[in-house]
Every structure is written in C-alpha cells, then in structure tokens.
Amino acid sequence: MHRKLVGTVVAAALAFGAAGSAAAATAQGKIEKIDASARTFELKEGKKTQSFSLGADAKVMDGAKAVSLDQLKTGSVVKVEYTNEGSKHVASKVETHKTSTAKAKTAVKPATAKSTGSY
C-alpha cells in the first residue's frame, strides 16, 4: 500500500513538472505589423521576426492601462508572454515598454551644506 502511494505521488510530481515546462515563454522587440481584425501581430527582435496571434483571454497592457490590440502602434517596444500551440505562437500577455534615454526627472540632487556662522 505504501509503495502504491509513493508511486502515485511520484507520478503526479512528474506530470506536474511536465506541465510546468510548458510555461509561457517571453519575447521582446518592436511591433512591425498589426492586424487587429485577425488578432495577429509581428514582432521584430534584432534580425528575427516572429508572428503571434492573440489568445482569447490575452491581456494587452499599455503601462498599467488595459488596451485593445488596435491601440498599439507599429514601432512600439513590447514584451510578449506566449505559448506554442503547434507551430503558432499564441500571446497571453502583451505589455508596452517605455524606452527613454533621457535621465529621470526625479534624480536626487546632492545636499549642500548651509553655513550657520560661528558663535
């Protein structure tokens, strides 16, 4: 009885591990093309271009704001979480990333010592 229970636990752990390996992959790059009616887009990472379809329950986020696929613009830098379904990349989440080379406006300035005079 004990062996059967251990075998069941090991089999369940292996099955869970196999399911965990099918976790979402990520890609990041610039949107090259969007077809909102077909719910597809192309993403360019370096020299490589990949096609994605938007999953039925996919989230498209512009910062903290939920948007629709047609509200994204070509050239936008995004991070995509996706799974492979056959030969298709199916996106479950698309997030815009702000790319700014400007320094943050909230940079901390060094404190300056104030002279209080001598007593």
For the chain, the first-to-last Cα distance in angstroms comes to 89
Q: Distance (Å, rounded) from C-alpha 9 to C-alpha 15? A: 10
| pLDDT band with cut points at 50, 70 and 90 for residue 10 | very low
- For 58-105, how does the pLDDT look when each residue is reduced to its tens digit (9 = 90+)? 999 998 899 999 999 999 999 999 999 999 999 999 999 765 444 444
Confidence (pLDDT) at 97: 76
Q: HSE, CB side, 13 Å, CA atoms: give it for residue 43.
A: 24
Confidence (pLDDT) at 9: 46
Q: pTM of the predicted model, to two decimals?
A: 0.63
Query: What's 23-47 look like in SS3?
Result: CCEEEEEEEEEEECCCCEEEEEECC
Going from N- to C-terminal start, the domains of the chain cover: 23-96
Confidence (pLDDT) at 1: 53
Confidence (pLDDT) at 12: 46
* Average predicted confidence (pLDDT) for the chain: 78
What CATH code would you report for 23-96? Answer: 2.40.50.320
